[in-house]
Amino acid sequence: MFITHKNCPMVRGRLWHRAIIGAIVCLGLGTPALSAAQGLTALNDPPDLPSVSLHGFGTLGLTRSNDDNAEFVRDLSQPNGAGTRWTPKVDSLVGLQANVHFSHSTEAVVQVVSRYHADSSYRPELTWAFVRHDFSPDFSLRAGRLGTEFYMLGDSRLVGYSNLSLRPPPDFYGSLVFSYIDGLDVTLTRPVASGLLKAKLFAGRSPEKTPYAPGLTWDLSGSTLVGGYLDYQHGPWQLRASHAQVQFHHEMPVNALTGQPYLSAVPAMAMAGQSVRFNSLGLVYDQGPLNVQLMLNQIKHDGLAYADSKAGYVMAAYRLGAITPYLGVSRSSSDVEQLPVIGDVFIDKVLTPSLVAQSVSDQHTYTVGARWDFQKNLAVKAQVDRINGTPSSVFLLKGTESGGWDGKMTVFSLALDFVF
Amino acid sequence: MKVLLSTLFLVLSGLGSTARAEPVVVVSAASSLRQLSQDEVVNIFLGRYRRLPNGDTALPIDQPESSPVRADFYRRLVNKDLNEINAYWSRLIFSGRTSPPLQASSAADVMVWLLGQPGGVAYVDRTQVDKRLRIVMEFAR
């Protein structure tokens, strides 16, 4: 079922590099040749096939908060974030994408994104590199490196221009560190009762890593991800139920964090081999100028190291000409089950509780903002978020280790989103 | 107040209609397709589902961006402006799901593609409809 690195040569790093260089060379040299050839093709042919098109998206963002006792991050893939000084690193990013159309039903897509992420740099990542084939209007398959859709809108959360709010609500999307997989997905679409029913299944392995603690990253590569959704769209309504699960391959660097062979003493806290399940429901009402989104999720860990959690948000926007104001409220809360006990006072009373406490969230956030489509393919957004949480609510933030975090923070953000 | 508002509405809508095109959805007269519902047209042009009732795969064609009929078409179809349609497509393009309609660079291109491609579906201003085309959907007046 899974495409492994061994039996799929397309997933090998070097070949990918060659593919990108090839794509860039094609784009640089091929485009004039293709347009010159256009005159020679039969008049009946729609745009020259195969054809290559280059697209891009990006955000120039600035973010600051009113609190230096925690750093605000967009999601947990960022090792640090914004304090009381304006910083571009929370939301700024740029993505380049090449689409190669072999026919109306077959397309290859390569996407590279540079954003502030796990290794504290903007080092570009190969986010997509897949081939899509539509066997029919009802059935399509993609294979290669693909975006994951754990939640509705999850695979476009970096494309600011396509989203209403400045960033996807961190209470809901912030804990999602999986952006892409090496694998495949299939989508089936059927008209049902004057609406459309869509089913999708995906499976693959993660090539990613995520920050674990200051200076430490957790290698997620090799973790298996499987999931899918059922989606029904009828007129302005869209309803989706999704499920995804991840089985971790590598152990989190908890021994390095504690400076002792902690996992030998408390094997119940191990994550390698353990699974986590993500269930979610999404409902969108999109009618003319009005857009309302409601999302709910539930994350359940088999392992004891992370607390289970629930999150949700409601966001409503109303377009008034070129300006679209929006309002939202989101919530994230966790549920710590019983902790493993081994009979060592320091480990049982201090170490284990403090490790699990890193995954606790108990906060809600009020969001108000506006999007201004001042020019084609350009939008400016301004947004204020008020986080109201308990002092124990540290999971979705960074830099709370120094103490002093009271759970409350106001975040100010500006962004210029563009596509080309 | 009510009278004032309705007068204002009439004046504004009157002003609007003189500047507006009247988009109709068309296929080649040689096609076996007779009719599309507005839901089907939404599915085709927003890339949700592109199977035509006659079994062909739909190949939607957009008018050039500068064409007033394009803005009117999407306004009538889903009550969205072109910025919103752009944002919608940027989501689908950058998540690698489906392709937007073919982008014609002139009204003449639209005709060439429409007549040359099985499954071709386009929208034109009603005044542009000639015997080579068949109207398969009109918006309620």
Check: CB of residue A299 under 8 Å from CB of residue A307: no
Q: Higher confidence at residue A85 or residue A2?
A: A85
CB-closest option in A44, A97, A130 to B94: A97
* Cβ within 8 Å of B, A 121-160: 128, 130, 132, 136-138, 142, 146-147, 153, 155-156, 158-159
Residue B101, domain extent: 21-138
What percent of chain A lies above the pLDDT cut of 90?
82
Is residue A1 over pLDDT 90? no
pLDDT of residue B19: 55
Q: Which of B83, B92, B132 to mutate to test the interface with A (most CBs of A within 10 A)?
A: B83
| pLDDT, tens digit (0-9, with 9 covering 90-100), for A283-333 | 999 999 999 999 999 999 999 999 999 999 999 999 999 999 999 999 999
* ipTM for the complex shown: 0.82
| Single-letter code of the amino acid located at B78 | V
What percent of chain B lies above the pLDDT cut of 90?
74
Structural domain contains residue B7: no
Is residue A419 over pLDDT 50? yes
Domain count, chain B: 1
User: What are the structure tokens assigned to A379, written together?
Assistant: 């939008």
Shortest CA distance from B118: residue in chain A: A44
pLDDT of residue B86: 92
Q: Is A38 on the interface with B (CB under 8 A)?
A: no
Is residue B135 over pLDDT 70? yes
| pLDDT, tens digit (0-9, with 9 covering 90-100), for A246-274 | 999 999 999 999 999 999 999 999 999 99
pLDDT of residue A257: 93
Check: CB of residue A221 under 8 Å from CB of residue A206: yes
Q: Which of A48, A151, A159, A192 to mutate to test the interface with B (most CBs of B within 10 A)?
A: A159
Q: Count of A–B CB contacts within 8 Å?
A: 96
Question: A32 pLDDT band (50/70/90 cuts)?
Answer: very low
Mean residue pLDDT of chain B comes to: 87
User: What are the structure tokens assigned to A393, written together?
Assistant: 């609510």
pLDDT of residue B15: 45
Structural domain contains residue B124: yes
Asked if B59 and A104 come within 8 Å (Cβ–Cβ), the reply is yes
Mean residue pLDDT of chain A comes to: 89
Is residue A389 over pLDDT 60? yes
| pLDDT, tens digit (0-9, with 9 covering 90-100), for B47-64 | 999 999 999 999 999 999
Start-to-end CA distance of chain A, whole Å, equals 36
Structural domain contains residue B78: yes
Structural domain contains residue B57: yes
| pLDDT, tens digit (0-9, with 9 covering 90-100), for A148-201 | 999 998 889 999 999 999 999 999 999 999 999 999 999 999 999 889 999 999
Structural domain contains residue B106: yes
pLDDT of residue B99: 87
* Domain CATH number, residue B35: 3.40.190.10
Asked if B94 and A146 come within 8 Å (Cβ–Cβ), the reply is no
Question: Distance (Å) from the C-alpha of residue B26 to the closest C-alpha of chain A?
Answer: 17
Structural domain contains residue B6: no
- Beta-carbon contacts of A37 under 8 Å, excluding residues fewer than 6 positions away, are A48
| Matching residue, tokens 């409220």 | A329
Residues of B with CB under 8 A from a CB of A: 39, 43, 48-51, 57-59, 61, 65, 78-84, 86-88, 90-91, 93-96, 99, 102-103, 112-113, 115-117
Domains of chain A, start order: 58-90+160-419 (2.40.160.40)
| Single-letter code of the amino acid located at A157 | R
User: What are the structure tokens assigned to A338, written together?
Assistant: 């019983």
Question: Distance (Å) from the C-alpha of residue A83 to the closest C-alpha of chain B?
Answer: 30
- For A40-86, the DSSP string reads TS-TTS-S-SSEEEEEEEEEEEEEEES-SSSEE-SSTT-S--B-SS-
Q: What is the mean pLDDT of residues B83-91?
A: 93
Asked if A55 and B93 come within 8 Å (Cβ–Cβ), the reply is yes
Global pTM reads 0.85
pLDDT of residue A42: 39
Among A157, A134, A137, A161, residue whose Cα is nearest residue A147: A157
* Cβ within 8 Å of B, A 258-317: 287-289
Residues in A closer than 8 angstroms to B59, CB to CB, are 46, 104
Structural domain contains residue B12: no
Q: What is the mean pLDDT of residues A402-415?
A: 95
Structural domain contains residue B14: no
Residue B125: enclosing H or E segment and its boundaries? strand B120-125
| pLDDT, tens digit (0-9, with 9 covering 90-100), for A394-403 | 999 999 988 8
